[in-house]
Amino acid sequence: MLHDLRFALRSLAKSPGFTLIAIATLALCIGANSAIFSVVHAILLKPYPWPDSDRLIYVYNSYPSMGLPNAGVSIPDYLDRRAGVSGFADSAMFTSQSYNLAADGEPERIIGLRATPSLFSTLQSAAGRGRVFTDADAEPGNDHVVVLSHALWKNRFGANPALVGQTIRLNTEVYTVIGVMPEGFYFPTLRTQAWVPFAFSAAQKSDQERGNEYYSAIARLKPGAALADVQRDLDLIQRRNNERLPEEALFWKSSGFGGRTNGFLEQNVGNIRGMLWLVQAGVAAALLIGCANVASLLLARAIARERELAIRAALGAGRARLVRLLLSESVLLFLAGGACGLLVAWWSLSALGTLGL
């Protein structure tokens, strides 16, 4: 076998044009397939780092008569639905907020998230170090605690294990670091670097806060819960509010106000799902065409070597020996094409990342 491989290397080196064309064809086809499949896998097949992410949904206020199907939620709306929707195993509300981080070194602007303590239980995610915040941390006056992302902990604080329990300054206010999330965790985006508890005041929980829809809400469905049942509960909650708040009900009825849900995957990639599968099918077809072209080149090369193979057979080489010799060349070509294809895939993914895709 080693003799056959050495001979295959010499034979391919004597035909550089054929060798380069075959390797380039395989590299481009394999690289394109690997890159596109990596994108499809990350976006469609395994898009989220949270357990049972298929049961996570967004919860919106909706004004269909005003052409606004997905609006934010107010704090009273969130509290009504958290208590009144039987299909929710858990739910959470959050809003983005940027902070000036002051620690050792230069101040840094970071992207944070103010969230209810139920965020981490809804995502079924725990801290990698320390702990996440609890209901006690979301009481007014007790909410100056923060959970950091693994990336911020590593890049800004040198992965210092003693950081948990220490204080940092966010927007000139002192916060105690109570936890660091594990590597790979993110919510809602990879850019989020810190999470702080959302403390509701009594005024924010009142009906006067309805209409201040500056926040986002998510929920985790109970096993076996159907979205139709969830929608029925959302409609029931709104009917009760219509009866209890007749003045607000006039506007709610004219705008078609209510609650609605949408799955995480459908909300985030629904518009591009078909396009991604179409691109994946296209590059898969290109791979098949490329393999067929290389197979045709190898067949033509074998026909051109008919005299050589006949001499080898006359000297005693059996059919299996000749097949092994030809197979050695094919294996070397495809190994070289696959290795170059990995480089093409790496470059393609880097280029897609630069473009923000």
Cis peptide before 16 (omega within 30 of 0): no
* Strand pairing report for 173-180 and 145-148: parallel
User: 171, 99 in Cβ contact below 8 A?
Assistant: yes
Alpha helices in 245-272 (DSSP H): 246-255, 264-269
239, 269, 299 - which closes a domain: 269
Q: How far apart are the C-alpha atoms of 324 and 6, rounded to whole Å? A: 13
Q: How far apart are the C-alpha atoms of 326 and 47, rounded to whole Å? A: 43
> What value does the mean pLDDT take over residues 175-201?
94
At 18, the pLDDT band (50, 70, 90 cuts) reads confident
269, 288, 313 - which closes a domain: 269
Cα separations in angstroms, 34 against 249, 280, 345, 348: 54, 10, 6, 9
At 15, the pLDDT band (50, 70, 90 cuts) reads confident
Q: What is the model's pLDDT at position 93?
A: 97
Q: What is the model's pLDDT at position 12?
A: 75
One domain for residues 144 and 239: yes
> What value does the mean pLDDT take over residues 93-101?
94
Q: What is the model's pLDDT at position 17?
A: 85
Tens digit of pLDDT for each residue in 155-180? 999 999 999 999 999 998 999 999 99
Does 357 reside within a domain?
A: no
Does 356 reside within a domain?
A: no
Residue 241 has pLDDT above 80, yes or no: yes
User: 31, 235 in Cβ contact below 8 A?
Assistant: no
Q: How far apart are the C-alpha atoms of 295 and 88, rounded to whole Å? A: 56
The residue that leads in pLDDT, 254 or 106, is 254
Does 255 reside within a domain?
A: yes
Q: Is 341 left (phi over 0), alpha (psi -120 to 50) or beta?
A: alpha
Range of the domain at 209: 53-269
One domain for residues 245 and 156: yes
By three-state DSSP, how is residue 257 classified?
Answer: coil
Highest mean pLDDT among 21-25, 300-304, 307-311: 21-25
Residue 38 has pLDDT above 70, yes or no: yes
One domain for residues 106 and 37: no
